[in-house]
Amino acid sequence: MAVKLHFSKGHGTGNDFILFADPDGSLELTAEQIRALCDRHFGIGADGVIRAVRSANLDAGAAALVENPGAEWYMDYYNADGSVAEMCGNGVRVYAEFLTRSGLAELAQGEILPIGTRAGVRDVQRSALGYQVDMGRWWLEDDEPLVSAKGLKVARPGLGIDVGNPHVVVALSDDAELEALDLAYVPVIDPEPVNGANVEFVVPGEPLIRDGVGHISMRVHERGVGETLSCGTGTVAAALAIRHWAGERAPDEWRVTIPGGTVAVRMFPTEEDGEHVSLSGPAELVFDGEVTLA
């Protein structure tokens, strides 16, 4: 029987998503359905799909990841190719906007909305830019893979960073090198990470630090999608990588410019869990609709 799906379309700095509410967890889409919805010519078109499920209705595997019982809602995130991803930094802000706009959750200024993800719980609050997300901890990978990409004259070393999902960050020398990249082709990472990775190409600002704030520009090739206008977790990984390379005098406050806009990244200490990193940026819902699932 054909199923009608009510959806909202939204984006965070041009990274766009199809969102729908499935509070009971009864409407799991197939990878084929997700690919069809995300198709920009034959479907609605999006970089990913977000299903809003109540954490209480998750299957046991997913529920185990939502260790905070306060996370009433879970962000069930899928890339445009139908694969799952652990986290989505732009998606989680757009998800907060979707939950609050549709009356499924409340979020007053200064309050926190915990959201369950495959990478654990992420705390979201309203901010001057739209929403701020506590992205939690991260891990530097031990090895430095070589990354080659179409338009890049020589392969460059990348820094592997896990911010809940996997990233490899590559530093380029200037804007001309960034613009010359053809990210319609998948960058090759050698050795290839077992679960794949999102690849960020980053250029330091000139100057890198202005009034105590670091500035970088970035383009990204997302795992399971292709080039996108923005990747929230990618901007966080890029800021962490540049701070790592810049050494002790590098700031904890960063502005990352991507083709879809600019977001803010901040590293901050926590008492109980070491250093965390936050991501702030806009989240917009642009239209609602109904589609019949094949």
> Is 57 marked within a binding site?
no
> Is 232 marked within a binding site?
yes
Distance in Å, CB of 223 to ligand LBFN2T5F, minimum: 4
Please choose, out of 37-45, 132-140, 217-225, 245-253, the segment that lies near ligand LBFN2T5F by the rule CB under 6 A: 217-225
Residue closer to ligand LBFN2T5F (CB basis): 35 or 272: 35
Enumerate residues 80-119 that contact ligand LBFN2T5F by CB under 6 A: 85, 88-91
Enumerate residues 151-180 that contact ligand LBFN2T5F by CB under 6 A: 165
> Is 68 marked within a binding site?
no
- Of 94, 231, 236, 238, the active-site residue reads 231
Retrieve residue 191's tokens: 């050795």
Task: Specify whether 231 is catalytic.
Answer: yes
Residue closer to ligand LBFN2T5F (CB basis): 120 or 209: 120
Question: For ligand LBFN2T5F, how many residues bind (rule: CB under 6 A)?
Answer: 18
13 binds ligand LBFN2T5F (CB under 6 A): no
232 binds ligand LBFN2T5F (CB under 6 A): yes
- Of 88, 163, 189, 263, the active-site residue reads 88
Task: Specify whether 88 is catalytic.
Answer: yes
Question: By the criterion CB under 6 A, which residues form the site for ligand LBFN2T5F?
Answer: 15, 48, 79, 85, 88-91, 165, 198, 222-225, 231-234
Tell me which residues are annotated as active site.
88, 231
